[in-house]
Amino acid sequence: MVSPASVSNVQKREQAKVMEKRGQKRIRFSAMDSLLPAQGKAILISGCDSGFGLGFAKHLTDKGCEVFAGCLMKDKNGEGSEELLSLKKPNLHVIQLDVTSSEQTSKSMKEIEGILNAKKLNLWGVVNNAGIGTYGEVEWIPINVYEKIASVNIWGMIRLTQACLPHLRRSKGRVVNVSSMLGRMGYPMRSPYCITKFAVEAFSDCLRYEMKPWGVHVAAMEPGNYIAGTNIFTPESVDAAAGVMWNNMSEAVRKDYGKEYFDSRVKKMHSYITGGVPDFRPVLNALDDALFSKNPRPRYLPANLYYTLRVLAATHLPESIYERFYKDIQ
């Protein structure tokens, strides 16, 4: 025989489950209600040849946006641009775009403006996704490699943003700059990438303050470790970078570090290729919020719990405590 107390407890648990479900529904509907409709909004994305950019272009096309997918290799029939063209979607426009070239950026914008005018649309958002990276210790990396990475990750971002701002001010639209968790914390062997992503963070803050009176929102997106999902590094690219570094080192630097240590660092970089999270749906969710939320955030950190906590620790803890917890930076 079941006691009245037991029945009461069962009822309470069932009521709690119902209330929890109702609460979840309220939260879910509230989130949906706070998003602007994506259908028909014109979005320009740079760096759509692969990785995040390729995924962003497909995702926003499926949501009904008018997508302008900027691809560096379109004129050379690059794999990413060909994949996008093969979709044959009327709301997906694959554009040749090299953000390091002022001439090509201007030409691409004229092409985009022509399509926008024909469809009577305004540009709603730009997603500055184009980015490159490498690895190696500071003494190993030629200065021209630092300059090349900055030309894409910093100057290319600024160049494209400047070209888009007149349109975005009229539409009161969005700027989304793809940074990285490495824009919030330094990491050995990644200095060229880290310094450019720190620059993305600073640029995003400055631009956000300047654009606020115009009703344009600026967000920095700081993805965690998605190397496995983006193929930003391949075995071939890691080996190619190693060859450039070793061949350009002075004899003194080679002697001081030694080939054994150098090879161990290259081997470690190879181990990162398949690391991280292969599924970058959290990044897509963050993109949706940055572009369509009525109350978007200044920063998004789509990362798993480990990297979320690590970024927060690097940002807020004293260095002595942070370095005690995370030995891999030593």
**Residue the block writes with tokens 């190696």:** 136
Please compute, for residue 227, the number of CA atoms within 13 A of its CA located in the half-sphere on the CB side: 17
Active site residue 322: no
Do 135 and 189 form a contact (C-beta atoms < 8 A)?
yes
CB atoms within 10 A of CB 87: 12
What dihedral angle (degrees, nearest 10) is formed by the CA atoms of 263, 265, 266, 270? 130
- Which of 193, 226, 300, 307 does the annotation list as catalytic? 193
Strand partners, 299: 220
**DSSP assignment string, 211-272:** HGGGT-EEEEE---S-HHHH--S-HHHHHHHHHHHHHHS-HHHHHHH-HHHHHHHHHHHHHH
> How many whole angstroms separate alpha carbon 191 and alpha carbon 142?
12
Residue 217: closest CA among 225, 227, 226, 207: 207
- The residues carrying an active-site annotation are 193
